[in-house]
Amino acid sequence: MKKLFLTVLGVVVVGAAGTAWIATHTPSSPFDNVTASAPSEDLIARGEYVARLGDCVACHTTPDGKAFAGGLEMGTPLGSIFTTNITPDPETGIGNYSLADFDRALRHGVAADGHRLYPAMPYPSYDKMTDGDIEALYAYFMEGVEPVSQANKPTEIEEPLNMRWPLALWNVVFTEGEVYQAKASEDGMWNRGAYLVQGPGHCGSCHTPRGPAMNEVALDESSPEYLSGALLDGWYAPSLRNDPNIGLGRWSEEDVYAYLKNGRNEHGVVFGSMVEAFNNSTQFMSDDDLMSIAHYLKSLPADPDYDGPVWAYDEATADDLSRDVADKVPGARTYAANCAFCHGRDGLGQNEWIPPLAGVSSMLAPEAESAINVTLNGSPRVIANGVPDSYRMPPYREHLSDAQMAEVLTYARSAWGNHGDAVSEEEVAALRSHTDPASIDVIILQMR
Ligand code: HEC
Ligand code: HEC
Ligand code: HEC
C-alpha cells in the first residue's frame, strides 16, 4: 500500500513536468472527421455481441439498478471510484458522445470532456479492439440501450491523488495504444482467440499480475508473466497458461470451452469473481469464439520453475478418512463433518455438480485466498442459460472459527496428493474482515 502510494506520488511529481504536453495532447481517433450514419439492425446486433465480449454490463450496472446506468463502487488502494452512466441519456449518460469521443474513452481512457479515466475501466485491453468493433459497440449504445437519467457519483479518492492528468502519463508508460496486430506465424483461430482474450475479453485484468502502479505487468503472450495468475479483490485468478498445477496444463481445449460455456467441467465450477465474467459474458460467446479462446490459451507455455512438481492423485487420504484418522487430526475431523458430504472422502466431488478439491488450482496455488474466501463466504450464484445452479458452496463464516478454517484448508491443501502451502489463522482473519458476504449475492444482469 505504502509502496503504491509512493509510486503514485512519484507519478504525480514527474507528471508535473508533463502538464503542458498533456494539455495539448488529446489522442486522435480514426473517427475524428466521421459522422456516424444511422446504423443498420445488423450493426446494432453486432454491437450488442461486442458488449457481451467486453462484459460492459458487469461493471456499469449495480445489481439492483438499470442496465448500464453506472454507480457500481470499485475499491482501489487509493479510495473508491464509481462506474459511470453509459446509457445514451444526453444529460447524465453518454448521449452527446460522438463516435470519436466514444473511441477515445474506450481505447485511450479519455472522456469526452478531456478528463482521464482511471484504469479500473479496462482501456489498456480495449485499446486492442478493432475500428469495426468500436463502431458496432457505439451503434449499440446509441440505438440499442435505453437512456436512463441517473447522475454519476464523484470518486472518493482524496486530493491530491484524485488529480486525473497524471493518468495520461500512466497511459503512455503502461498501455500499448495499438489495435491488435494478427501474427502471420499463427492461424486464424489462434489470432481470433488472442484478440478476444487480450482485447474485449480483458482476461488479463484479473489473471495477469499487477506491478506497483497497478499496471498489468504484461499485455500479451510475449511475456511469460502474461495470464500467469494474480490476486485481486480477495480472489486468486489462477494461471491460464499450461502450468499443470496452478494453470490449465491438465485441461484439454474442450475442457476450457465447456467451462466458459456451461460454467463447469470435470475440473471445476466457476466461482468467486469469475462468476461475473461467466454470468454476463463468456456464456454468451459463440462456440467458435470460445474454441478460439481455448485454442489460444492452450498455446501459452508453462513455467516449470514456478509451478513445481506435477500433482498426482493419492488415494491414501480417502482410506485414512474412512479409518480413525478423521478423529485424531483436527483438520480431517472438520473435513469429515462439514465437507466430505459434498466434496467426498476421495476429494473428487460429484460429477460436474460439485467440484473436486483434489488437484484444483485453489488447493495447489501458493495463494490460498480463493480457497479461504469461498469457504468463508460461499460463491455468487452461477446462472447458465437463465437457470441458477442447484448446488452451491455454503458459507462457513458463522460456523467455523479462524482456527478451524485454517486447519480444514491446510488439511485439504495437503490431502489427495495436493501440495499447497498451509493456511494460517491470520490469513483467514484478514479475509474475514475484508470481505463482505452480502457482496457475494450477485445476480445475472439483464442487458435489455
Ligand atoms: C472492470 C470494470 C469496467 C468494465 C468491464 C467496463 N468499464 Fe467502462 N468504466 C469503468 C469505470 C470505473 C469508469 C469510470 C472511470 C473514471 O471515473 O475515471 C468507466 C468509464 C467509462 C466511460 C466514460 C464515461 C463517461 O462518463 O464519460 C465509457 C464511455 C465506458 N466506460 C464504456 C464502457 C464500455 C462500452 C464497456 C464495455 C466494452 C466498459 N466501459 C466496460 C469500468 C469498467
Ligand atoms: C473479474 C475477474 C476475472 C475476469 C475478468 C476473468 N476471470 Fe477467469 N477467473 C477469475 C477467478 C477469481 C478465477 C478462480 C475461480 C474459479 O476457478 O472459477 C478464475 C478462473 C478461471 C478459469 C479456471 C481456472 C482453474 O484453474 O480452475 C478459467 C479457464 C478462466 N478463469 C478463464 C477466463 C477467461 C478466458 C477470461 C476472459 C474472457 C477470464 N477468465 C476473465 C477471475 C476472472
Ligand atoms: C452443499 C455442498 C457443499 C459442501 C457441504 C461444501 N462445499 Fe465446497 N463447494 C460446493 C460447490 C457447489 C462449489 C462450487 C462453487 C459454487 O457453485 O458455489 C464448491 C467449491 C469449493 C471450493 C473451490 C473449489 C475449486 O474449484 O477450486 C473450495 C476450496 C471448497 N468448496 C471448500 C469446501 C470446504 C473446505 C468445505 C467444508 C468446510 C466445503 N467446501 C463444503 C459445494 C459444497
Chain segment 3-58, per-residue pLDDT in tens: 343 344 444 444 444 454 554 467 889 999 888 789 999 999 999 999 999 999 99
Between the CA of 227 and the centroid of ligand 2 the distance, in Å, is 10
> Does any domain span residue 183?
no
Q: Which atom of ligand 3 has the smallest separation from the CA of 360?
A: 27
Ligand 3 near 130 CB (within 6 A): no
Q: Which three cell numbers stand for residue 122?
A: 479496462
Closest C-alpha to ligand 3, atom 31: 393
167 ligand 1 Cβ < 6 A: no
Whether residue 117 contacts residue 111, with contact meaning beta carbons closer than 8 Å, is answered with yes
CA 151 to each of CA 71, 93, 204: distance values in angstroms, whole numbers, following the listed order: 9, 8, 30
- Are 161 and 196 found together in one domain? no
> Residue 70, by phi and psi: left (phi above 0), alpha (psi -120 to 50) or beta?
left
Report the separation in Å between the CA atom of 73 and the middle of ligand 1, taken as the mean of its atom positions.
Answer: 12
109 Cα: distance to centroid of ligand 1 (angstroms): 9
Q: Are the C-beta atoms of residues 303 and 243 closer than 8 Å to each other?
A: yes
Show the cell assigned to 206. 484479473
pLDDT above 60 (res 357) = yes
The verdict on residue 209 lying in a domain is: yes
- Mean pLDDT is lowest, of 79-83, 155-159, 261-265, 395-399, for 155-159
pLDDT in tens, 203-252: 999 999 998 888 899 999 999 999 999 999 899 999 999 999 999 999 99
Mutational test site, ligand 3, from 343, 369, 373, max ligand atoms within 8 Å of CB: 343
Nearest CA to ligand 3 atom 17: 392
Q: Which atom of ligand 1 is nearest to the CA of 155?
A: 17
Distance CA 115, CA 9 (A): 19
Instruction: Give the separation between CA 215 and CA 300, rounded to whole angstroms.
Output: 21
Do 12 and 115 have their domain in common?
yes
Question: What distance in angstroms lies between residue 278's CA and the mean position of ligand 1's atoms?
Answer: 19
The verdict on 335 and 414 lying in the same domain is yes
Residues 166 and 254 in one domain: no
Comparing CA positions, the residue from 223, 215, 255, 209 lying closest to residue 366 is 209
Domain count, the chain: 3
Give the pLDDT confidence of 165-216 residue by residue, as tens digits: 778 877 877 777 789 999 999 999 999 999 999 999 999 999 999 988 888 9
Residue nearest to atom 19 of ligand 1 (CA): 121
Residue 273 and residue 406 share a domain? no
Domain that holds residue 33: 2-174
Which residue's CA lies nearest to atom 39 of ligand 2? 203
**In this structure, which amino acid lies at residue 110?**
V
User: Are 338 and 406 members of one domain?
Assistant: yes
Tell whether the torsion through CA atoms of 177, 179, 185 and 191 is positive or negative.
Answer: positive
- Same domain, yes or no, for 329 and 293? no
Q: Is residue 12 part of a domain?
A: yes
Residue given cell 478423521 in the structure block: 326
Task: Answer for the pair 300, 218: CB distance below 8 angstroms, yes or no.
Answer: no
- The answer on 137 and 262 residing in a single domain is no
Torsion 181-183-187-189 (CA) sign: negative
Q: Is residue 195 part of a domain?
A: yes
**Measured at the alpha carbon of residue 29, what is the angle toward residues 179 and 171, in degrees to the nearest 5?**
65
Where among 307, 341, 357 does a domain terminate? 307
Question: Residue 6's pLDDT is what?
Answer: 38
Instruction: Tell the residue nearest (CA) to atom 15 of ligand 2.
Output: 271
- The CA distances from residue 187 to 194, 199, 292, 299, in Å, are 11, 18, 10, 12
Last residue of a domain, one of 255, 280, 307: 307
* pLDDT tens readout for residues 122-170: 999 999 999 999 999 999 999 999 999 999 999 888 877 777 877 887 7
Same domain, 267 and 323: no
Co-location of 31 and 166 in the same domain: yes
Residue 160, preceding bond cis, omega within 30 degrees? yes
**Domain end call among 307, 338, 355:** 307
Which ligand places an atom closest to the C-alpha of 93? 1
- For the record, the C-alpha cell of 90 comes out as 444526453
What's this model's pTM, rounded to 2 decimal places? 0.94
Same domain, 289 and 371: no
The mean pLDDT of the chain is 90
* CATH number reported for the structural domain that contains residue 266 in this entry: 1.10.760
Residue nearest to atom 12 of ligand 1 (CA): 83
Whether the CB-CB separation of 207 and 229 falls below 8 Å is answered with: yes
Residue 448 lies in a domain: no
As a whole number of angstroms, the distance between CA 367 and CA 206 comes to 14
Report the C-alpha gap between 271 and 279 in whole angstroms: 11
What is the distance of C-alpha 360 from the center of its chain? 18
Identity of residue 44: I
Q: Whole-angstrom Cα distance, residue 200 to residue 303? A: 26
| 115 CA distance to ligand 1 middle (Å) | 13
Cell representation of residue 143: 440505438
**230 alpha carbon, distance to own chain's centre:** 10
Taking only the tens place, the pLDDT of each residue in 394-426 is 999 999 999 999 999 999 999 999 999 999 999
Q: Do the beta carbons of residue 77 and residue 8 sit within 8 Å? A: no
The alpha carbon of 38 and the centre of ligand 1 are apart by a number of angstroms equal to 24
Regarding the beta carbon of 56 and ligand 1, being less than 6 Å apart is answered yes
Max intra-chain CA distance, the chain: 77
**Which of 19-28, 109-118, 345-354, 394-403 has the highest mean predicted lDDT (pLDDT)?**
394-403
179 within some domain: no
- Looking at residue 445, its pLDDT comes to 64
Query: What is the average pLDDT across 430-436?
Result: 90
In-domain check, residue 114:
yes
Residue 160 shares a structural domain with residue 116: yes
Residues listed for the chain: 448
Ligand 2 close to Cβ of residue 240 (< 6 A) = yes
Q: Is 410 in the pocket of ligand 3 (CB under 6 A)?
A: no
CATH number at residue 429: 1.10.760.10
With a CB cutoff of 8 Å and minimum separation 6, the contacts of 194 are 180, 183, 186, 220, 221, 296
Q: Do the domain assignments include residue 435?
A: yes
